[in-house]
Amino acid sequence: MITKFGKRFLTDQMAGNVSALNKDIAIGIDYTADTENDTRLGFEFYRVPVSFGTTDIQTLNGVTSYSVIFKATIPQDVEGHINEIGLYPSTRSSINNFDSKFITDFATYTDWTDTDGFKSDYLTGSQRIGNTILLMQSAATSANEYIQNTVNLDLSGYSANDTLRLAYYKQDANLASIKIRFYSSDTEYFEKVITPASGTGNKLTADIPMSEIFNGATAVAPDKSSIIKIGITITPSAGQTTYVGFDGLRINDEDTFDPNFGLIGRSVVSTTTTVSGVSGQSTITVGSVNNLFIGQPVSGTGIATGALISSISDKTITLSLNNTGTVSGSGTFYGIKKLAGRSLDLEYKLDLDWNI
């Protein structure tokens, strides 16, 4: 969908006020519905230049529609779930040192050590970014904190209006809370406690205002400009043991958005096929398994909110949650899976919302 900022950009470009012709395609893992008010992807994890663009003009029943198709190639070494696609100009009118970026993608599990000196572990098959997911464990008796050293991460340029998002994986229902700390020394840090979403499987936090991060400072104020390590604490429910996977931690610059060079269009990637199933069961039957994969979010009549594909056997799909009613009609399966070892040619069709 073209955004209101995209309409502004195209209008300025036609008027000759914007000279930038090159575009970038961004890909992300969020599948929240796209709207014209979008200013960024929900959770971007990669961006690549557009290699080719063409027009698509069609007339049907006397109505002419106008679209533009942008093509790009995702390199071989990139791996992840492409649930959303965005189009951006390749250049900006200004340079911002505190732009949106990954704080960590949890790519190397050996970088994280708990308070007893044990390294974290990893999982495969549940990740949405990269080829593994970082796995942390907390025993039944207490919370467990894992630490990663950083090279002077500077948060001083981010305001209270900027946001933080965490992508994680709940392996069980025993997780009571997640705590994120940004340390400027061993005793000075900013802290945010997150209440996990219900159910198991892949989760994305809502946008966390940086004001909540900065307000969670220790009595002796930490130094925003010199964060030397990041801490993740997982706390299990009383008497339980929990395992939690981590995919990505991202900061989003919300208050210095450039309206002339911002998000032109954003679309959620989805596949639709016929579905059927019985209330209270975790299986459904689909018309086609094309573009379906384990870990993929699913929605439809009778399908539980937050359900993911757990396994695929012929046209029988097992979901992570039981059906809440009789499953019928069409089901929507979000995203495509980009594997490492081969490139992916991606086409993004942007429909312009005027008809003649």
Domain boundaries, the chain: 4-92+259-268+341-352, 101-252, 271-334
Q: Is 12 helix (H, G, I), strand (E, B) or coil?
A: helix
Strand pairing partners for 209?
163
Residue 120 near residue 135, CB atoms below 8 Å = yes
Q: What is the pTM of this model?
A: 0.91
Among positive and negative, which fits the CA dihedral 317, 126, 129, 235? positive
Considering the four listed CATH numbers 3.40.1190.20, 3.40.50.300, 2.60.120.260, 2.60.40.10, the one that applies to the domain covering 101-252 is 2.60.120.260
Give the CA angle between residues 42, 44, 50 to the nearest 5°: 120
Question: What is the C-alpha end-to-end distance of the chain, expressed in Å?
Answer: 19
Nearest to 180, CA basis, from 171, 170, 167: 167
The Cα 95–Cα 165 span in angstroms is 23
One digit per residue, the tens of pLDDT, for the chain of length 356 reads 999 888 888 888 888 887 767 899 999 999 999 999 999 999 999 999 999 889 888 888 888 888 999 999 999 999 999 999 999 988 765 555 678 888 988 888 888 998 888 888 888 878 899 888 899 999 766 889 999 999 889 999 999 999 999 999 999 999 999 999 999 999 999 999 999 998 888 899 999 999 999 999 998 889 999 999 999 999 999 889 999 999 999 999 887 766 667 899 999 999 999 999 999 999 999 999 999 998 899 999 999 998 999 999 999 999 989 999 999 999 999 999 998 888 999 999 998 876 54
- Give me the phi and psi of 296, to 5 degrees please: -80, 135
- pLDDT recorded at residue 92: 67
Residue 154 near residue 164, CB atoms below 8 Å = no
